[in-house]
Chains A and B, each alone.
Chain A
């Protein structure tokens, strides 16, 4: 179970943050390596030759790629504490469904907010907010998506909150007003040390997003 754990990451990545939080939840010590995505390291290319992306978890020399698969791997290997997925297969299926929804719908919609044309941006914003409202519906009155305890869906979704400040300032998307339950849930998650300690500074994220957008729009 123990052994050498290395994480290849890029600090603003919401996907990498999932892994950092999962590792923290399990109390796993690891070596952190920051990647420059404009100049990918030989190690990254060797460990993830197919997708060539972060995050990559390297456990005893063997790579695991794709953030949700890494989180599941962590949960299965370090199964002695803080279970992230429920034990009941039906509830596990529900958890996997919602994490998949975050990837396929919430994340994809969040990228559409970046479109250079004004009407497309407005459409993108609308779609993004709709996905957040769907998540809000799923949360209901529960403290966490996992129910009473912080779990797999929470780990999958909370990193996106690190970009909400940037969306507010750059795109005038006020998630606090539009999705108050999601906002309350996020603040509740941030009270956990495992989340707060790993969360990037919101101003730094804003600067990063603003800079990246300039490149994207002018490209």
Chain B
């Protein structure tokens, strides 16, 4: 079978890195193209005309976009090392938490750190703590959200496991503390040490410098 797998991505994007983590976990070889998001390539605009964003997975010439959609596609196409459970209820449960992280936790975390006035920041921090608490409770005694192995929720949670820490350092605002969220902190440690993940994290210094530059521009958009 002709298996050309191409990924259009961006080195610092957690969404792009999620796809790389999944591909690595499943041992799938792919060709990577780094996109300059300030000067989008004709390929990117052709493969993702609606959103014009990374990541874009191109499999045998056909594009798949939106990181969570790509993750499900990868899991359905390459069956080794599944990242979603087999049982429909467990699947719905995993999708719920992935959606929760994607839509409710990460934005709150970043808002608290970088955007808005002081008053808005306090409110955003409270919201972020509430969301992180839900995740802390969901983790229970599991090693990963996926159980013994890294799954969809863990991969989606890369934003919390790694990027949040960098945002915290860039802004001086601490959210994910060990006293408040011991389980989540342990999870983050385990997550970033796993080999498929470790190899796909952007260099911390480079990410920090980029974020500091953006924050330095005040009220930076995402």
The CA-CA distance from A197 to B92 in the complex, in Å, is 27
Q: For window 84-98 of chain B, which residues contact chain A by CB distance below 8 Å?
A: 88-89, 91-92, 95-96
Q: How would you classify the secondary structure of chain A's contact residues: helix, strand, loop or mixed?
A: helix
Whether a CB of chain B sits under 8 angstroms from the CB of A64 is yes
Q: A90-B62, A90-B73, A93-B69 are in contact. Are A101 and B92 (CB under 8 A)?
A: no
Whether a CB of chain B sits under 8 angstroms from the CB of A73 is yes
The CA-CA distance from A62 to B59 in the complex, in Å, is 37
Q: Which of B65, B70, B99, B134 contacts A66 (CB 8 A)?
A: B99
A-B contact count (CB 8 A): 54
Q: Is the CB of B64 within 8 A of A93?
A: yes
Q: A64-B92, A70-B92 are in contact. Are A93 and B100 (CB under 8 A)?
A: no
Q: Is the CB of B96 within 8 A of A66?
A: yes
Q: Is the CB of B88 within 8 A of A97?
A: no
Min CB gap B51→A, angstroms: 8
Query: Which residues of A are found within 8 Å of B100, using beta-carbon distances?
Result: 50-51
Q: Is the CB of B69 within 8 A of A62?
A: no
Q: Which of B76, B89, B95, B134 contacts A89 (CB 8 A)?
A: B76
Whether a CB of chain A sits under 8 angstroms from the CB of B66 is yes
Whether a CB of chain B sits under 8 angstroms from the CB of A77 is yes
B-contact bits for A36-63, CB 8 A (1 contact / 0 none):
0000000000000011000000010010
Q: A50-B100, A92-B76 are in contact. Are A100 and B66 (CB under 8 A)?
A: yes
5 other contacts beyond A65-B96, A73-B89, A92-B73, with CB at 8 A cut-off?
Answer: A76-B88, A90-B62, A90-B73, A92-B76, A97-B66
**What are 21 A-to-B residue pairs whose CB atoms are below 8 Å?**
A59-B89, A62-B89, A64-B96, A66-B95, A66-B96, A69-B92, A69-B95, A69-B99, A70-B92, A72-B95, A73-B89, A76-B91, A89-B76, A90-B59, A90-B62, A93-B64, A93-B73, A96-B72, A97-B65, A100-B66, A101-B50
